[in-house]
Every structure is written in structure tokens, then in C-alpha cells.
A and B are shown apart, each in its own frame.
Chain A
């Protein structure tokens, strides 16, 4: 058991170090995110116009929301769906399956290594830059920070689970780039990255409340900007926990079916 655990920790470490080798990519990444945040900053300035607040969020809270949503994305975002899909197409997955670890667990750990790298080398310096340029308010309440990091961890779990599902589907679709792209667009919209969910019309909010996507971006961002207060925070984190558990079911079912379905395309 202990050796199993240390093996997974090792996977996180290796991926982290691999990312370190491609550092330049992530410096330019900081710039890309800053540009994105900048565009939305000006847009929201114009949208607010003279208004004091929209849906209980002030303009400063909104700017903070946008900034934190993008910076959190650096942590939870990963390409393991594309990696799984590629390994299935290359036939590598057959070899991976006979190795002494859980394939999906390994992919998750690699995603975590990537996320930790981006959090340290990308989100932290990125936030510093954005904070210098745009008016952003950081809470000085330590418990807010703590709750934010807990919900950020759940963002990673839920997003990774959705990526695993998308990746495994390659077994059945054989070719998967379209679905991967569609999934990315859906997550950007329904997770609250571009717009807080509370801005949507009520009927749309009702639909989204039945979907796991808001657990990815909306909840951590609202916690950080203190758009959620008191009990709201805890029930939001509980919702994230619930989705993390529920999403295990389709993953396991798909994985069992996939092993039966295994067609190696070449390789």
C-alpha cells in the first residue's frame, strides 16, 4: 500500500519536473492569461458603465472574479483527455493496461503534477502581475483562502473526471478531437469561467444546477470574491464533493466496457 502510494507521488513529481523543462511555454502562458483578463476587464468596465453592482457583485468583485477564474483554470486545466485519446489511437494503452498501476489513476496524477506546476510558476506570478495592473481585492480572512483552496482541489477532481470520461470515449468513437473541443467549449461556458452563473437567466441557472460544470469554476471564484457568504460556502463545497463522488460511477462503467471493447488501431 505504501509503495503504491509512493509510486503515485513519484508520478506527480516526474510530471512536475517535465513541465519545468518546458518553462518558456509557461512564461508566455502568463502573458496569454493576462491578455485575456485584460480584455474582460475593459469589457466589464463598459458593461457596468455607471452601475454600482450587478447581481450583487461590484465591479471590483467582478474583476477579481475574472482574474481568479482564469488563474484557477491554470491549476485544474489539463490535457489528459487528449493524451488518453492519443494513447488509445497509437495502441499504447494496451501496454499501459498490463503495467502494475491503475492507468486512470496514473493519468490523474500526471494531471495533478501539471496543475501544481502551473499553480506555482504560473498562477502565483500571474496574479502578481494582474494585481499590479487591475484593481483586484484579496481577502485578508485566512479562512476564505483555506476554503478557496479546498474548493480549488475539488475543481481539479471534477474537471479531471470529466476529462477521463471524454478520453475513455475514444475507445468507442475511435477518433475524438471534435468531442474534446466541444467539451472544452461547454466547460468554458457552463462552468462560470466567462460569466458568473448568477448572471444567467433563471431558467438557465436551473438547468446548470443539475450539471457538474459549476463545480469547476463558479464555486471557487465565488468563494474567493466573497460572492458566497456563510452557509452558502459550505453547501457549495458539499455540492462539489457530491459531484466528485457521483462522477466515479460513469468512469468505472465506461472503463469496464472499454477494456472489453479494446481495438488497437495499428501500433
Chain B
């Protein structure tokens, strides 16, 4: 309960600060929309020159992309920790965080959230509905529940990977550029994994399981039964990764000795 009320207090403070530069907020939302459109335009232009991508149709690829946007939006709203090393370790902010009466990871998450990224959920769902209606997909009563489960699973996978990467900073305090690299690898998961070679496929499934954030769960809604096994595994993967990451984080915090001063 305490955590929930702290969350809402931070969220309302956050909205106040964002509102003070309103023009920039509008441009930022617009640039987010543009960013989401770019990938869609890519798909549309490419399918002007081909009809199938390894047996997947244009609408199916669009649907996968729409799905991907939703867990990605949730992740980027709450786990905006790509500059953790610089901001918290190098600048010594971590010392302040550790004096707070709530878990250090939670403290950082609420300090760094970017709630406007949640608009991606709307774009994603809109894209899915468009592609779904083109494909003639129908909604079952359990689909919304499955969707929520899969989105949570996907977001947790993303979060888990990035928390583990942030935790590395506790061991090595030099700056690394692993984070942007991970964003790029994350993009691999947006396309059907059967277009990649075996090694990449294996990696995207079991080591950096970004395929569980896009193509696998989307395959469930597309009725692609050959992928159901993977699709249902999405929430499990999410739980495994988030548990692992919290474990890493706690071990890291224990080891943390503070920077400078």
C-alpha cells in the first residue's frame, strides 16, 4: 500500500513537471508517433515489392509490429534506466537512493519514469485492430486476458534484460555502450524469427529472448498454431527474467561502495 501511494505521488509530480514545457511535450509525442510510423512505413514499402516474407503476409507482419509496440511502451514508460550508470553511479546519486525507505530499484523506476511513452499502447492496439480486421481475425472472450498476460510477460522480459545490464554497473563503473546495443537487438524480435539463421534464432529465444516480445506472443493471436508452445511460454519467460534481474540487482547493491566523495 505504501509503495502504491508513493507511486501515485511521484506520478502526479511527474505530470506537473512535464506540463511546464507543454510545447515540447507535444513535439515529443509527435516524434514518438513518427518513430512508430517509420517502422510501419518500412513494412508497407517493402511489401510493395514482395507478397510474403518467409510465408508471413503483410498484415501479419504489421500485426506483430503492433503487438510489439505495446510491451515496448510499458517498458519504456517505467524502465527508463538506460543512463543508470552515468546518472546514478558516476554522479553518485545512488548514495541518495540507498538512504530512502523503499527498495532501491523501485525508487529509481519511479524517479525515471516517462509516462508519456504509454501512448505507444494506443498506437500498438490501433495497428493490431487494423491488421486484425484485414486478416478477418475474431475476438474470443479470453483474448483480452491472454493479451494482458502476454504484454506483461513481454514487458518483464525487456525490463529484466535492462535491469541486469544496469546491475553490471555495480561491478564495473566504467561507461559502456551495451544499452543502445540492446535496443538494436530488441528490434530483431519484431520480425518472424524464421527469417534469421539458427544461431540468431536460438539467441533471440533463450539468451536475449526478444522474440517473446514480438513474434511469439503475436503468433497466438494470429492463430499460428505451430508457435503456440512458445507463445504460452511468454509470461513464464517474463517471470524468469524479472526474478533473475532482481536477484542480480540485490547482489550488486550489496557490493556497491559508493563513488568518490
Q: Are A178 and B184 in contact (CB under 8 A)?
A: no
- Which of A46, A54, A186 contacts B34 (CB under 8 A)? A186
Q: Are B49 and A199 in contact (CB under 8 A)?
A: yes
Q: Are B38 and A42 in contact (CB under 8 A)?
A: no
Q: Are A47 and B49 in contact (CB under 8 A)?
A: yes
Q: Are B24 and A185 in contact (CB under 8 A)?
A: no
Q: Are A39 and B53 in contact (CB under 8 A)?
A: no
Q: Are A24 and B27 in contact (CB under 8 A)?
A: no
The 0/1 profile, CB within 8 Å of A marked 1, for residues 176-219 of chain B is: 11101100110110010001110010000000000000000000
Minimum CB–CB distance for A86 against chain B, Å: 14
Q: Are A182 and B200 in contact (CB under 8 A)?
A: no
Given contacts A186-B34, A189-B41, contact A49 B195 (CB under 8 A): no
User: Which residues of A sit under 8 angstroms from B48, Cβ to Cβ?
Assistant: 199, 201
Q: Are A36 and B49 in contact (CB under 8 A)?
A: no
Minimum CB–CB distance for B161 against chain A, Å: 15
Q: Are A177 and B177 in contact (CB under 8 A)?
A: no
Q: Does B224 contact A (CB under 8 A)?
A: no
Q: Does B23 contact A (CB under 8 A)?
A: yes
Given contacts A28-B177, A49-B52, contact A195 B45 (CB under 8 A): yes
Interface residue ranges of B39-59 to A (CB < 8 Å): 41-42, 45-46, 48-50, 52-54
Q: Does B2 contact A (CB under 8 A)?
A: no
Complex Cα gap A199–B184 (Å) = 23
Complex Cα gap A182–B42 (Å) = 17
Q: Are A182 and B30 in contact (CB under 8 A)?
A: yes
Q: Are A43 and B38 in contact (CB under 8 A)?
A: no
Q: Is the interface of A mostly helix, strand, loop or mixed?
A: helix
User: Which residues of B sit under 8 angstroms from A188, Cβ to Cβ?
Assistant: 38
Q: Does B173 contact A (CB under 8 A)?
A: no
Complex Cα gap A55–B50 (Å) = 12
Given contacts A177-B28, A178-B30, contact A29 B177 (CB under 8 A): yes
The 0/1 profile, CB within 8 Å of B marked 1, for residues 22-55 of chain A is: 0011001101100110110011011111010011
Given contacts A24-B175, A46-B53, A199-B48, contact A178 B195 (CB under 8 A): no
Complex Cα gap A174–B27 (Å) = 13
Q: Does A176 contact B (CB under 8 A)?
A: yes
Nearest residue, chain B, Cβ from A38: B200
Q: Does A2 contact B (CB under 8 A)?
A: no
Q: Are A45 and B52 in contact (CB under 8 A)?
A: no
Q: Are B45 and A43 in contact (CB under 8 A)?
A: no
Q: Does A200 contact B (CB under 8 A)?
A: yes
**Additional A-B contacts beyond A49-B52, A182-B30 (20; CB < 8 A):** A24-B176, A25-B177, A32-B181, A35-B181, A43-B195, A49-B50, A49-B53, A173-B24, A175-B21, A175-B23, A176-B24, A179-B31, A181-B31, A181-B35, A182-B34, A185-B38, A186-B34, A194-B38, A194-B42, A199-B48
Contacts A/B (CB < 8 Å), 19 sampled: A24-B175, A24-B177, A25-B175, A25-B177, A28-B176, A31-B181, A35-B181, A39-B187, A47-B53, A54-B49, A55-B49, A174-B21, A175-B23, A177-B24, A178-B24, A178-B26, A178-B27, A182-B34, A199-B46
**B interface residue numbers (CB < 8 A to A):** 21, 23-31, 34-35, 38, 41-42, 45-46, 48-50, 52-54, 174-178, 180-181, 184-185, 187-188, 191, 195-197, 200
